[in-house]
Amino acid sequence: MPTELSSPPTLFISRPVHRTLTKRVVKLICSAFLSLLLAACVLLFVLWLALRPHRPRFHVSSFSVTGLSANGSAPLTFSFEVAVRNPNQEIAVSYDSVFVSVYYRDDRVGAAAAPAAGPFFQPPKNTTVISGKAAGVAPAAAAGTVAREARAGSVVFRLQLASVVRFRMSTWDTHRHHLHVSCDVEVGPDGLITVGSKDKRCYIYFL
């Protein structure tokens, strides 16, 4: 009678179950952390787009010069009106005193003895008008050149404003920024601003 052969014993391989579970938990934690980090970055980016401060906008709405017909024998006098627009939805702008000067090429030909505007607060989506006068301080040579150019058709001045501003939202505000505004203004022989220069946006930069 043939002898039955016994089957070989089954070998059970013990897997490191604890190590596998640890790896899974670590992966889950890393995935959750990266997802939260990505969501936070997206939220911060959206908030930055919505709340980032936009620069104020300056437009010269009125500008005139008296004394052009004097051919440099009398000082020039400048009158101006500048519209200041805060385009931000939620952010206000706080201004210190605003100082004004008038230039012809590289010569300062006009300056205001006092600030054109005292410190003021500008709410969001607000337009504030700054107006004033600047007395002529033009050198004789520059004053004569200005008069000759005006008689020839037109002369271009540069109206400059300077102030210190802060952007504010609720209880949060930024550091103080030195604001400089440069506006090219063309006037005709009558000393009045030309149509092409009226309401033209000024150049703004911060220091």
Q: How confident is the model at residue 158 (pLDDT cuts 50, 70, 90)?
A: very high
Q: How confident is the model at residue 150 (pLDDT cuts 50, 70, 90)?
A: confident
180 and 149 in a common domain:
yes
Q: What residues have CB less than 8 Å from 25, skipping those under 6 apart?
A: none
Does residue 38 sit within a domain? yes
196 and 127 in a common domain:
yes
202 and 136 in a common domain:
yes
47 and 144 in a common domain:
no
Q: How far apart are CA 101 and CA 137, in angstroms?
A: 10
Q: Classify 40 in phi/psi space as left (phi over 0), alpha (psi -120 to 50) or beta.
A: alpha
Residue 15's alpha-carbon distances to 10, 18, 21, 27, in angstroms, are: 16, 9, 11, 19
- Which pLDDT tens digit goes with each residue over 30-71? 888 888 888 888 776 666 555 677 899 999 999 999 988 776
132 and 191 in a common domain:
yes
Total structural domains in the chain? 2
Q: Which of residues 52, 70, 95 is at a domain's end?
A: 52
134 and 104 in a common domain:
yes
Q: Are 183 and 82 in contact (CB under 8 A)?
A: yes
167 and 88 in a common domain:
yes
Query: What percentage of the chain reaches a pLDDT higher than 90?
Result: 47
99 and 34 in a common domain:
no
Does residue 21 sit within a domain? yes
Q: How far apart are CA 5 and CA 24, in angstroms?
A: 44
Q: Are 91 and 51 in contact (CB under 8 A)?
A: yes
165 and 94 in a common domain:
yes
Q: Is the pLDDT of residue 11 over 90?
A: no
Q: How far apart are CA 101 and CA 160, in angstroms?
A: 5
Q: Is the pLDDT of residue 6 over 90?
A: no
The H-or-E segment that residue 25 falls in is helix 17-51
Does residue 84 sit within a domain? yes
Instruction: Provide the domain limits for residue 146.
Output: 57-206
**CATH label of the domain that carries residue 116:** 2.60.40
147 and 92 in a common domain:
yes
63 and 44 in a common domain:
no
Does residue 6 sit within a domain? no
- For the four alpha carbons of 148, 150, 152 and 156, in that order, the dihedral sign comes to positive
Q: How far apart are CA 71 and CA 148, in angstroms?
A: 7
Does residue 2 sit within a domain? no
194 and 115 in a common domain:
yes
